[in-house]
Amino acid sequence: MRFTLKVSMIFIVCMFLFQSSNGSDLISKNCKEASKRVPEIITYDFCVACLEEASSKLHPPPTNLDDFVGILITLCKNNATNVLSIISKLSKDKSLDKFAILTLQECSSFYEQSEFFLDMIAASLKKKVFDYVSLHLGEISTSSRVCNEDLSAKWRGGISPLSKEYQIFLQLIWISRVFVNIITKT
């Protein structure tokens, strides 16, 4: 009985280590491919760091690329929620001119729509409707770029106050898109 218990424990530990190693290999391999396909937007280090951090909190850990796209969509939605909070705080600045306020309102509307679309994307991902996922990730990417450019044009100093969050959001979106393309072999 004791021997069986020890063998079982060793087996469980080995399976856990293999799964953990397999996840890291999957992250590394696909982040390398994503940063190679879109080097002007995606950095390998960012991709690996955010996926390793997020997947380390999940039990069981992700085992395939679909799982990682799901994680990325969740991270995108969290980022959009954070951006909405920042926009809300910025909108209270009494020294802003009306054009900056209008642009913040437009960006707020965009990020609210993004949250909705990201929920739809997550549902489509579960159903493996990858064309829908890719299409709407592209639309979200374009809208976030327009928001950031408009804010840069209207903001004091010519730099959007959302630049940092935009860069994070953009990378998450594009990593998701590349991973979907890898899954669908496009």
Four-CA torsion 66, 72, 76, 79, nearest 10 degrees: 160
User: For the chain, what is the mean pLDDT?
Assistant: 89
Using CA atoms in the order 177, 179, 184, 186, what is the torsion angle rounded to 10 degrees? 60
The CATH code of the domain that includes 98 is 1.20.140.40
Count of the separate structural domains present in the chain: 1
Containing domain of residue 117, as a range? Answer: 2-184
| pLDDT at residue 23 in the model | 64
Model confidence band, residue 107 (pLDDT cutoffs 50, 70, 90): very high
**pLDDT tens figures, 16-43:** 444 444 568 999 999 999 999 999 999 9
The pTM assigned to this predicted structure is 0.85
The band of 60, judged by pLDDT with boundaries at 50, 70 and 90, is confident
Q: What is the pLDDT of residue 178?
A: 98
Distance CA 184, CA 168 (A): 24
Averaged pLDDT, 49-67: 92
**Would you state the pLDDT for residue 167?**
96
pLDDT (tens digit per residue) in 135-160? 999 999 999 999 999 999 988 888 99
